Amino acid sequence: MEITETLYLTNRKDWRAWLEKNYDKKKEIWLIYYKKHTKKKTIPYDDAVEEALCFGWIDSTVKRIDDEKHVQRYTPRNLNSIWSENNIARVKKMIKEGKMKKEGLEKYNYGMKNNLIAPLTDKKIKTPEDFQKALKNNDKAFENFSSLAPSYKIMYIYWILGAKRKETRERRIKKAVKLLSENKRPWEMY
């Protein structure tokens, strides 16, 4: 995936202003995030996602630029996309604060009305059999997966379950096992 237009912001006020002006004109934007060691101010991730949801946008792919920064892609949310527990909570917070815009509310209400809620909100979600089998064939990956926090396990599982085709699912399982054998975190799969 090609990085197109990038945007560097330090606060949610400027991000909201950009969204207000561009949410219905742009198809995507890549926000620049500086790593902590650079000491450069960057909009906090939660602030960026909350504001994006207000306008019916969502975060997705993360790409490393260099040792100092990475970018994350933000796009208009697909009407039929699944709502995670975290994003449902974020929208409820934004509604309470009176920050939700019509476009964001429409997508949220549609998702709730049509039960487009991630089945993975249950922390006891089972690891799919094919993924479990692949993990058991790689001791290091199995050990690392077993030691992950439940929220990290869910990220891996959700990514695998989100594959629409068998080939995609198999490719994701293979990549997840490779990353886990290298003790990588779920956000490094993109």
Instruction: Dump pLDDT digits (tens) for 11-68.
Output: 999 999 999 999 999 999 999 999 889 999 999 999 999 999 999 999 988 899 999 9
Residue type present at position 96: K
Q: Say if CB 124 and CB 164 are below 8 A apart.
A: no
Q: What is the 3-state secondary structure (H, E, C) of 25-92?
A: CCCCEEEEEECHHHCCCCCCHHHHHHHHHHCCEEEEEEEECCCCEEEEEEEECCCCCCECHHHHHHHH
How far is Cα 12 from Cα 52, in angstroms, rounded to an integer?
10
> Which strands make up the sheet holding 29-34, listed edge to edge?
6-8, 29-34, 69-76, 57-64
Amino acid residing at 100: M
DSSP run (H or E) holding 8: strand 6-8
Average pLDDT over residues 72-100: 92
Q: pLDDT tens digits, residue range 152-189?
A: 888 888 888 878 889 999 999 999 999 999 988 777 76
Q: Is the dihedral of CA 105, 106, 108, 113 positive or negative?
A: positive
pLDDT for the residue numbered 147: 85
